[in-house]
Structure 1
Amino acid sequence: MKMRIEAIQIAEAFNMKKFRAEFRTEVFSGSTSEAFYVFPEHDRFLYLFDYGVVVFANYDAVAKSEFLNFLKPYALNPVFLDLTEEYQIETDAGYPKTMVKNDRVVVPKTDADTLRIVMLNTGQSVALEYYEKLTDELITSSKHYILKLERRGKLNISKKELLKYIGKVLNVKNSIVDNLYILDDPNLVWDNEELNLLNKNLKANFDIIPRFKDLDYRLQIVEDNLTLFTDVLNVRESARLEWIIIILIAFEIVLTLFSH
């Protein structure tokens, strides 16, 4: 038996407190930052993360669409990008142990804890894809200014534009730092060797750790560029102030000469 899992980046964040208060289903497990739901009557599973990701397991198109419409009021800063990650969990009693493959994980039996680990890693992967796209945009923007600096020997950017760019960079970095916990192992793997191994294998399959390190490296490049831009802008502002002072002194000398 195969079960389809789909993770979607809906927004930058969810109002989890409000959602859990108004979603009339008891949470199976979770915390202030996530909520995992089990619907045994439909054999469905749902995982919601406060960094704006929702993960469906065994949902058809109609049920998924209905829930996404319900979720809209709780989405903070919706993301209008096609950011999804699909995976499968296959139940096969003939397998003596869990096997993680590129497009699916094969397990001897499926239970809520196993589904939760698979859905967690699928959700982490799509969240990393979102941050990768944001950092790509930042790097592209910084390259644009660097090319202008190389060709013209000056930075063609206003102080207001630079401050807006700095704000965007800091916003992305703070968002990533706030969600660093996505790399943490869930509590349920600590005392369960099989779940712990499954979690590690899924992290390796989705390249979770290498992708996060690459993300951090690229953000550091953007920050280094910001430092350069700021220094160039400060030099430009200093030169402008010096000319203003020179002009004022010259004007004062001219006035003094005429007054005598």
Structure 2
Amino acid sequence: MDTSLPAHARARYLGGRIHLRDLPGWTTVSTSPFTFAGESGGFFVVLRFGAMVGVGTRPEEEDRVLAAVLPLVVPREHSLADESVALEVGDDYHEGVRPDGSIQLRGLDAQRAQVVANALAKSAVLGHYEERVASVFDRVEALATQLHAATVPASSRDLLRQIGESLLIQTHMVGRVEVNEKPEITWDDPELDRLYERLALEFELADRDRALSRKLEVISEVAGTYLELLDTRKSRRLEWYIIILIAVEIVLILWELFGMK
């Protein structure tokens, strides 16, 4: 690896899914996950759940690869989540995370790059959804306040949109990102497994995933309760309409009867 520049790993969350079959013809060192060597050292790792990571690569090359990958992302996020961390590579290093937050590696091979990329990409995805859920949670908190005040002004369309958004996030996090699942490359390699464990602990992946899941549950519960109240109000309103129509019809019948006399 070229050490003329400080080494770093940089993850970008681009969107829902990357169509890997359409990626340009880079010479891959692995297809699961899609991994290829950088021109000036390091490795690029492209993950199906919508993240691209450069490990020990140069910023200018990262921008070129990003430009090639972006058209293959569906759906693409409007703002790209970005997370980076410093790397230190040395044969005698104890692999893991230093107190200053930098990652120490004994070497920079494809396997270690994939482990770093997997953990950093998951952290970037969590960061993206934490920000997104925070804005939804603020709106839901306002709904809870309105419920406490016995007011129900929101529309069912807005509520359905919020429920749908939380369900989409849950589906993506559980079905594609699999935050709590270790990458396959660590399953049969204790050294890589320990490295991933240290990175996952440093980035607080499990704790953040639990907190995010709990917020999504609260969003669904509050919005669902609110929606039920709206439906109840509509049902009662419809019942009153029917009662009024029946009353009017009775009045008309009585009017006709008495009018005929």
The normalised TM-score by structure 2 is 0.88
Indicate if the aligned counterparts of 1:134 and 1:172 stay in contact, CA closer than 8 A: no
Matching residue of 1:110: 108
Cα gap change, 1:93 to 1:165, in 2 (>3 Å): closer
* Counterpart among 234, 237, 244 of residue 237 in structure 1: 234
Residues 133-162 of structure 1 show CA distances to partners (whole Å, capped at 9, x for unaligned) of 2221221111122223334x2211122222
2:178 partner SS: helix
Mapped to 1, the partners of 2:95 and 2:144 lie a distance apart of 49
Indicate if the aligned counterparts of 1:9 and 1:83 stay in contact, CA closer than 8 A: yes
Query: Per-residue deviation at 1:82?
Result: 4.9
1:179 partner SS: helix
Matching residue of 2:146: 148
Mapped to 2, the partners of 1:254 and 1:16 lie a distance apart of 71
Matching residue of 1:15: 19
Q: Which has the larger radius of gyration?
A: 2
Query: Per-residue deviation at 1:58?
Result: 3.1
Mapped to 1, the partners of 2:107 and 2:19 lie a distance apart of 34
Indicate if the aligned counterparts of 2:35 and 2:110 stay in contact, CA closer than 8 A: no
1:51 partner SS: coil
Mapped to 1, the partners of 2:21 and 2:254 lie a distance apart of 73
Indicate if the aligned counterparts of 2:95 and 2:195 stay in contact, CA closer than 8 A: yes
Residues 71-96 of structure 1 show CA distances to partners (whole Å, capped at 9, x for unaligned) of 2221112222352111122112343x
Cα gap change, 1:27 to 1:259, in 2 (>3 Å): farther
Matching residue of 1:50: 48
Where do residues 26-105 of structure 1 align in structure 2 (5 Å cutoff)? 26-31=27-32, 34-39=33-38, 41-95=39-93, 97-101=94-98, 102-105=100-103
Mapped to 2, the partners of 1:3 and 1:125 lie a distance apart of 19
2:43 partner SS: strand
Query: Per-residue deviation at 1:250?
Result: 1.0
Gapped runs of 5+ residues in structure 2?
Answer: none
Length, aligned pairs only:
252
Query: Per-residue deviation at 1:240?
Result: 0.7
Larger CA deviation: 162-171 vs 44-53 = 162-171
2:241 partner SS: helix
Indicate if the aligned counterparts of 1:149 and 1:156 stay in contact, CA closer than 8 A: no
Matching residue of 2:7: 3
Indicate if the aligned counterparts of 1:51 and 1:179 stay in contact, CA closer than 8 A: yes
Cα gap change, 1:76 to 1:231, in 2 (>3 Å): same
The normalised TM-score by structure 1 is 0.88
